[in-house]
Amino acid sequence: MLRKILMGFIFAFLLSIPGFAQKNELGVVIGTTLAPDSTVFSGLTLATESGITYEGVFAHRIADVHLASLYLEFPIVGSSDRDIRQGTFVQNFSSIFFTPGLKLKLNGPGISPFVSVGGGFAHFSPSTNGGTLPDQSSTQGAFQAGGGVDLSTPIPHIALRGEVREFFTGKPDFSPNQHNIFVGGGVVLHF
């Protein structure tokens, strides 16, 4: 009986060795960016509409205690087509967020929840009638906090990801809105 238990532990350890070598993650996530409405000084509501958003993220594991891992994370989140509406006035804009930071991930069998925090910058570029307005483009500091979950798949080294990130930025030159919430899902390659 002891021999079977020992062989079971050795077999489980040998199967887990490739998992320890996977120190990097590369993810692609597609979702939407939401922002709360704002009331401007004239009493009118400024509505920022949601838009399709893409995220590319690279993470490198810097510490592993088997139950949890700590990663350096480099997410880039961008949206190219969002509208701001104030009455009948509509202005289109694009945004990009780069907020390197830390990610703490729990290492569960089949499911791995995580939280993330970081800081960097956000760049906003407004446009009207298809042309950009460079005098109103602005780059602001940005703080990001979020979380999500990775779900294992039958394909080795591939996981499905669902996540939410909130970006708090300095005030863009063309809008009082400082909150942007990204919600999305995608795939992650562990290597």
Domains of the chain, residue spans: 23-190
What topology does CATH give the domain 23-190? Answer: Porin (2.40.160)
What are the backbone dihedrals phi and psi of residue 81, each rounded to the nearest 5 degrees, phi first? Answer: -150, 85
How many whole angstroms separate alpha carbon 156 and alpha carbon 7? 24
Indicate whether 135 pLDDT > 60.
yes
Between these two residues, 15 and 7, which has the higher pLDDT value? Answer: 7
Of the chain, the percentage scoring pLDDT greater than 70 comes to: 80
pLDDT in tens, 141-186: 999 999 999 999 999 999 999 999 999 998 776 666 688 999 999 9
Between these two residues, 21 and 99, which has the higher pLDDT value? Answer: 99
Q: Report pLDDT for 37.
A: 79
Q: Report pLDDT for 128.
A: 65
CB atoms within 10 A of CB 131: 7
Say what the pTM is: 0.81
Can you read off the two tokens belonging to residue 68? 């949890």
